């Protein structure tokens, strides 16, 4: 591994890109949370300055951490490359196969719900006859 640049830059593009986007969203949400938390802390300087300093510091730290994990750490990069290779081997369902499976799941779910409703009605009727239910 070289000390500069992206490790194996031509491999695992999509896994790295989507990982970076997901990581960026999580960091952005964390920075929004940090901004709001900094409103309650008095550091003796203008509040907006302390918020900006905290955000820039946290963004820099987490930006470097993300670059290190997604771009240059050999173990995690090799894992992402292997993940993309395995995903290319997956046999993805066709649209018609997916439609048939979805219809089957919805139909079976409705059938089970109908069966549960029927059993509930039968037991409620029997319990009313016996006197357990008074409704």
Model pLDDT for residues 71-84, shown as the tens digit of each residue: 888 888 889 889 88
Instruction: Place 2 in a pLDDT band, splitting at 50, 70 and 90.
Output: very low
Q: What is the pLDDT of residues 3-27, one digit of tens each?
A: 567 778 778 788 888 999 999 999 9
Question: Averaged over 94-115, what is the pLDDT?
Answer: 97
pTM: 0.62
Rg from Cα positions in the chain: 28
Query: What is the pLDDT, as a whole number, of residue 8?
Result: 80
Question: Averaged over 36-42, what is the pLDDT?
Answer: 89
Query: What is the pLDDT, as a whole number, of residue 77?
Result: 87
Q: How far is CA 62 from the centre of its chain?
A: 19
Cα-flanking dihedrals φ and ψ of residue 83, to 5°? -60, -45
| Residue 70 Cα distances to 2, 109, 134, angstroms | 15, 41, 65
Q: What is the C-alpha to C-alpha distance for residues 68 and 7, in angstroms, rounded to an integer? A: 10
């Amino acid at each position: 591994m070289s000390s500069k640049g992206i490790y194996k830059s031509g491999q695992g593009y999509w896994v790295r890109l989507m990982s970076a986007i997901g990581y960026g969203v999580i960091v952005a949400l964390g920075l929004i949370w940090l901004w709001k938390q900094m409103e309650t802390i008095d550091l003796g300087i203008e509040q907006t300055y302390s918020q900006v300093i905290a955000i820039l510091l946290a963004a820099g730290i987490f930006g470097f951490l993300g670059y290190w994990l997604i771009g240059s750490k050999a173990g995690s990069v090799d894992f992402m490359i292997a993940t993309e290779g395995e995903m290319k081997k997956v046999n993805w369902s066709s649209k018609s196969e997916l439609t048939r499976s979805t219809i089957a799941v919805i139909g079976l779910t409705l059938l089970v719900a109908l069966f549960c409703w029927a059993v509930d009605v039968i037991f409620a009727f029997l319990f009313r006859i016996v006197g357990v239910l008074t409704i």
